[in-house]
Amino acid sequence: MSVLGNVSISLTEEQGMLLDVARGFVRDQAPIEAVRAQLETDTGFDAGTWQSMVEMGWAGIALPDTVGGAGMGVGSAVPVFEALGGGLLGTPLLSSTLAGQLIWRAAGESAAGWLGRLCSGSVGTIAYLDGGDWGASNMGVALGADGALAGAKSYVADASVADVFVVVASEGGAPVLAVVERSSVADSAISENVLIDLTKRAANVDFSGVTPAEVIRGDAVSVAIRDTLLLGALLTAAETTGAANKCLASITEYLKTRRQFGKLIGSYQALKHPTVDIYVGMENARSFVYHGATIVGDEALDQDAEIACRMAKVAADEVMVFAGDRSVQFHGGFGFTWECDSTLFIRRAQWAQQMYGGAIHHRKRLASLLLDS
Amino acid sequence: MSDNKAALNAFRNDVSAWMAENVPTDPGFLLPLTFLEVGTEQQLDFLREWQHKLWSAGYLGMHWPSEYGGQGADPAYQYIVDKALAKHNAPIIFNTIGLNWVGPLLLDMGTDEEKAKYIKNILSGEEIWCQGFSEPDHGSDLGAVQTRAVRDGDDYVVNGSKIWTTLGNYADHMILLARTNPNTERKYDGLSFFLSPMKIDGVEAHPIRKVTGEYGFNQTFFTDARIPASCLMGEEGGGWMVAMKTLEYERGVTAGQASGYWGVTIQVDDMIEALSKLEHDGEPLLSDPVVRDDLVGFIMEAKALSLTGRRSGIPALTSDYPMGLALSVKYRGTEYERRMKQYTASKQGAQSALYVGDADAVSGGFWQRAYFSNFGATIGGGTTQVQANIVAEHVLGLPK
């Protein structure tokens, strides 16, 4: 048995169509000027764009049809996120998709009410981190005997626009999911973060004194948390791969048009060869991402799927950090300015590389998965 | 299970049984790791006999037409054989230039006469082929070749020299790129492509020793060598296009090769197995966190190569750079292998310094030799740096 394990990769006809549709949507509805127009707004996205995405069924793309979703499996979200990443289009879709996964995986159809709301466009988000460590237990928020939460969560994605929070909490040491309505959280409990990527939003949220609308308990909760974090890594990797591809296109465009010393700068191998490495890295990341899409399912993730999600994240982070960094450098003085899209790419790279764990987080776990079993 | 799948599975079992029975055991002398290192008559005779045996069993060039010695089968069958060869650690199938680039080229562009004359003997191993492209002064810049072929009656008279002629000292034929017109506006338009005999007066191949300490390639000298005009393939002055097509087969951009098994297959699993037997600081090497992280990187590279190979068959996932995966496969694969072998050769403590021939060398110096040998892959067929230019220009559209 090879250490390479499962190497299957495929794309259903439906996923292929989704990829086309999503790329077309980004091209037509979210050109880079539209993305830029949202950089310094409160929400970071256009409400009309989000509404269109909901109407296309993307809010429920990863959920089963029995709860109002598309019923195409969580892998079908991958082409959508790759396309969205290609436009650097920031919306709450990632947060809401993962909140849906966490609830579904922990509670199944008994949570159809919540899941139905998410599918129809209510924004969900997971409140997970207690601080900066994706590898910590993150059980700092306690659910007391009085039924109220105590403690705060950090860097909750899209908190200010969320309708529903899924708070990872501890009840007598056991993990539970506290589903909290936005209406039970005071405005003053939400303090917005200053994020490096201006297409994204997050906030610290103090849940102290808040009584959840529902608490999801049971054996499935731990596995659901673990698997949702892995899917977060996979979907972030899909988005990042799309962004890396767009970044590559922006670099090659500049290299084909900018002249110095009497020739197009793209003819210099010092610029050409690293650009090829960005291309190769992007294609590798894309292979990992679609391999992940091929083997993740609604059931608990097996070891092959875990490896796939972690490798996808590592590969996407590495190429995006390199691409964003080189994009600024290769654009020269212009690359250093706010007007150059390199700014957006390098900021996306630095945001994405930590989400759901950075390279060392995943590589350390991959070493055990690959070398100790 | 479909009939086709059932048939392939049955075939896989047959092949496996045949290999178990017929793959030769260690002959007691060093065998070459790749077709680039056939350096002794002893190796040549052994490998020729082995190739003939494989072909006689119907397991070589299976997807080539039966009228030329193939089986007219689906390429999936040959793929199964190639996998089985690797799995059984079989000796290499050595007549690679014939099998993997001349054969497919002739099937693609050759005349019926050329196909009838050459292809079967390529498969059987009766006739060995070499390649005369690079020259001492023109390697990567192939369009600048200077070896001259001058028409004289029914012959061309060839003068000049070719280098890195793998198998040249044993070969019966050479695919030769020579200049028939030195005065064309574009240097490429003065080149012609010949299926040239090697065992004639005026052609001499001098073996060159390599960094591995072994032989395998040559410098070939042409001194007023007369080759029949009928050896010209295509039009006079049309050689560049034929040469480029040849390179597509050589680089694996276009399929149709008779066997992918041109070198001993060394996988990331072999690396891990080799490292798992070593110690470092009195502990197993594989418990070292730095080594573990390095291995994660190598495994990811190997897995990416495997996945990307499979993905190239999914058009929706390659639509933005349609030729990109094929044109970058040599760039990605050969460099990964070089680094993987160097890594393994250098994690053996003091024994890293031992080479083939020392009784204490780890695995007989296999990894040290494999590392050096791998430069044949990162240099031959267009260096890594030329490959990067090709990807930059032909995939990304960057200027020359």
For the record, the structure tokens of B128 come out as 């060995």
Task: Give exposure, B147-179, as e/b (b: 16+ Cβ within 10 Å).
Answer: bbbeeeeebbbbbbbbbbbbbbbbbbbbbbbbb
Cα–Cα distance, A285 to A120 (Å, whole number): 31
Do B292 and A371 make contact, defined as CB atoms within 8 angstroms? yes
- Chain A closest-CA separation from residue B340 CA (Å): 15
**CATH code where residue B85 lies:** 1.10.540.10
Q: What is the mean pLDDT of residues A300-311?
A: 98
Nearest to A36 by CA among A162, A147, A257, A197: A197
Asked, for residue B255, whether it belongs to a domain, the answer is no
Q: What is the pTM of this model?
A: 0.91
What is the per-residue pLDDT for B258? 87
Interface test with A, best of B286, B303, B308 (most A CBs within 10 A): B303
- In this structure, the answer to whether residues B95 and B170 fall within a common structural domain is no
For the record, the structure tokens of A312 come out as 């996808």
For this complex, say whether ipTM is above 0.90.
yes
Cα–Cα distance, B45 to A316 (Å, whole number): 49
Which has more confidence, A234 or A90?
Answer: A234
Which has more confidence, A21 or B5?
Answer: A21
- In this structure, the answer to whether residues B96 and B156 fall within a common structural domain is no
Asked, for residue B260, whether it belongs to a domain, the answer is no
Do A255 and B398 make contact, defined as CB atoms within 8 angstroms? yes
Contact of B211 with B164, CB cutoff 8 Å: no
Residues of chain B in contact with residue A281, where contact means CB-CB under 8 angstroms, are none
Amino acid at B1: M
Asked, for residue B256, whether it belongs to a domain, the answer is no
What is the per-residue pLDDT for B256? 85
Q: CATH for A221-371?
A: 1.20.140.10
What is the per-residue pLDDT for B2? 62
Residues of chain A in contact with residue B293, where contact means CB-CB under 8 angstroms, are 363-364, 367
Cα–Cα distance, B261 to B326 (Å, whole number): 19
- In this structure, the answer to whether residues B106 and B137 fall within a common structural domain is no
Amino acid at A256: K
What is the per-residue pLDDT for B137? 86
Cα–Cα distance, A281 to A320 (Å, whole number): 9
What is the per-residue pLDDT for B246? 95
Task: Give the total number of structural domains in chain B.
Answer: 3
For residue B307, give the nearest of A9, A272, A367 by CB distance.
A9
What is the per-residue pLDDT for B264? 87
- In this structure, the answer to whether residues B96 and B138 fall within a common structural domain is no
Interface test with B, best of A245, A287, A360 (most B CBs within 10 A): A287
Residues of chain A in contact with residue B291, where contact means CB-CB under 8 angstroms, are none
pLDDT digits (tens, 9 = 90+) for A194-215: 999 999 999 999 999 999 999 9
Nearest to A157 by CA among A92, A233, A213: A92
What is the per-residue pLDDT for B251? 79
Residues of chain B in contact with residue A237, where contact means CB-CB under 8 angstroms, are none
- In this structure, the answer to whether residues B145 and B76 fall within a common structural domain is no
Residues of chain B in contact with residue A293, where contact means CB-CB under 8 angstroms, are none
Residues of chain B in contact with residue A366, where contact means CB-CB under 8 angstroms, are 296, 299-300
pLDDT digits (tens, 9 = 90+) for A117-140: 999 999 999 999 999 999 999 999
pLDDT digits (tens, 9 = 90+) for A31-61: 999 999 999 999 999 999 999 999 999 999 9
- In this structure, the answer to whether residues B30 and B44 fall within a common structural domain is yes
**CATH code where residue B282 lies:** 1.20.140.10
Cα–Cα distance, B379 to B265 (Å, whole number): 18
Asked, for residue B400, whether it belongs to a domain, the answer is no
- In this structure, the answer to whether residues B295 and B384 fall within a common structural domain is yes
For the record, the structure tokens of A130 come out as 């207690």
Alpha helices of chain B — where are they, by DSSP H? 3-22, 41-56, 75-87, 96, 103-109, 112-124, 239-250, 268-276, 289-311, 324-327, 329-345, 366-373, 375-379, 384-390
- In this structure, the answer to whether residues B115 and B134 fall within a common structural domain is no
Cα separation values, A256 from A86, A267, B335, Å? 20, 8, 27
Domain ranges, ordered by start, for chain A: 221-371
Q: Which structural domain range is residue B319 located in?
A: 268-395
Look at residues B128, B155, B179 and tell me which one is the last residue of a structural domain: B128
| Mean pLDDT score of chain A | 97
Do A371 and B391 make contact, defined as CB atoms within 8 angstroms? no
pLDDT digits (tens, 9 = 90+) for A128-179: 999 999 999 999 999 999 999 999 999 999 999 999 999 999 999 999 999 9
Q: What is the mean pLDDT of residues A341-352?
A: 98
Alpha helices of A331-358 — where are they, by DSSP H? 332-335, 342-352
Task: Report the SS3 class of residue B384.
Answer: helix
**CATH code where residue B168 lies:** 2.40.110.10
Sites in chain B below the pLDDT cut of 50: 1
- In this structure, the answer to whether residues B319 and B344 fall within a common structural domain is yes
- In this structure, the answer to whether residues B305 and B377 fall within a common structural domain is yes
What is the per-residue pLDDT for B71? 93
Interface test with B, best of A279, A289, A317 (most B CBs within 10 A): A279
The DSSP code for B221 is E
Q: Is the pLDDT of residue A95 over 90?
A: yes
- Cα torsion B310, B313, B316, B322: sign: positive
- Chain A closest-CA separation from residue B295 CA (Å): 8
Cα–Cα distance, A59 to B338 (Å, whole number): 46
Asked, for residue B390, whether it belongs to a domain, the answer is yes
For residue A287, give the nearest of B286, B296, B311 by CB distance.
B311
- In this structure, the answer to whether residues B173 and B272 fall within a common structural domain is no
What is the per-residue pLDDT for B260? 82
Q: Is the pLDDT of residue A192 over 70?
A: yes
Residues of chain B that touch chain A, judged by Cβ-Cβ distance less than 8 Å: 267-269, 272, 286, 289, 292-293, 295-297, 299-304, 306-308, 310-311, 314, 316-317, 320-321, 324-325, 328, 331-332, 385, 388-389, 391-392, 395-400
